Amino acid sequence: MDRSPVPDIVIGRLPIYLRALKRLLSEGIEVTSSRELGRWLGISSAQIRKDLSHFGEFGKQGTGYHIGKLCGELEQILNVNREWPVALVGVGDLGRALAHYGGFSHRGFRIAQLFDNDPAKIGQKINELEIMPVNKMGNSIEEARIRVAMIATPADAAQEVADALVKAGIRAILNYAPIALIVPGDIRVQYIDPVIHLQRMTYYLEK
């Protein structure tokens, strides 16, 4: 097995593979090949085989991949064979949508705590979770030993929130605020900004 560091771009494709495999499994398909999976995803079969080879040998030539087993292996590699509690900071329109979203629970994540700095929202409940004030965020996250957080605040509040999250022990942040965060090198940050993706697509519309 290759013990060298796995490129982050490869790690980024693993959840895509896992999602496609789960879809196939839900349709009653038990075995697939890299070629078939590649057709689904628009990724070459060679790339899929190369990506998976970083972690071992999961399929057999002429037989393909047993989907259920490969799903289990990918879940273990991605550490989503367990449930990760998540702190959500910012319960505006976007934050409420995230709090109500049902797609986290069966993919390894659970919104466990909600925080906002709007006095009108403090004490309100979403899915039985009470919205707590941001000034209680540090202690609450530390006590619950939460390591993953999502930021859905306005951009001008995001850096201060990120600093407080890191101080509370958060190690991974999914940032919806349209701003680049400054965090220590060992903190993982992923950015989701729909406008960026829209602007990338509109570039091609008049070509």
Same domain as 60, residue 91: no
Same domain as 89, residue 69: no
Please tell me the predicted confidence (pLDDT) of residue 117.
95
> How far is Cα 88 from Cα 71, in angstroms, rounded to an integer?
28
Same domain as 116, residue 15: no
Same domain as 147, residue 62: no
What CATH code is carried by the domain that includes residue 138? 3.40.50.720
Please tell me the predicted confidence (pLDDT) of residue 103.
87
Beta bridge partners of 116: 133
Same domain as 107, residue 159: yes
Same domain as 92, residue 55: no
Q: In this structure, is the dihedral angle defined by the CA atoms of residues 64, 68, 73 and 75, taken in order, positive or negative?
A: positive
Q: In this structure, is the dihedral angle defined by the CA atoms of residues 145, 149, 154 and 158, taken in order, positive or negative?
A: positive
Please tell me the predicted confidence (pLDDT) of residue 1.
43
Q: Which long-range contacts (CB under 8 A, 24 or more apart) does 117-124 make?
A: 117/157, 118/91, 121/91, 124/91
Distances from the Cα of 155 to the Cα of 89, 119, 135, 144, 177, angstroms:
12, 19, 18, 26, 5
Evaluate whether residue 207 is within a structural domain: no
Same domain as 91, residue 65: no
Same domain as 60, residue 129: no
- Give the count of domains, the chain: 2
Evaluate whether residue 2 is within a structural domain: no
What CATH code is carried by the domain that includes residue 62? 1.10.10.10
Same domain as 123, residue 66: no
Pairing of strands 129-133, 125-126: antiparallel
Same domain as 156, residue 115: yes
Instruction: Please say whether the beta carbons of 14 and 51 come within 8 A.
Output: yes
Place of tokens 């496609």: 20
Range of the domain at 15: 8-77
Structure tokens at 2: 């290759």
- φ/ψ of residue 47, rounded to 5: -65, -40
> How far is Cα 19 from Cα 92, in angstroms, rounded to an integer?
28
Evaluate whether residue 156 is within a structural domain: yes
Beta bridge partners of 190: 174
Instruction: Please say whether the beta carbons of 13 and 43 come within 8 A.
Output: yes
Q: What is the residue-level pLDDT of the chain in tens, covering all 207 positions?
A: 445 789 999 999 999 999 999 999 999 999 999 999 999 899 999 999 999 999 987 766 667 899 999 999 999 999 999 999 999 999 999 999 999 998 888 889 999 999 999 999 999 999 999 999 999 999 999 999 999 999 999 999 999 999 999 999 999 999 999 999 999 999 999 999 999 999 999 999 987
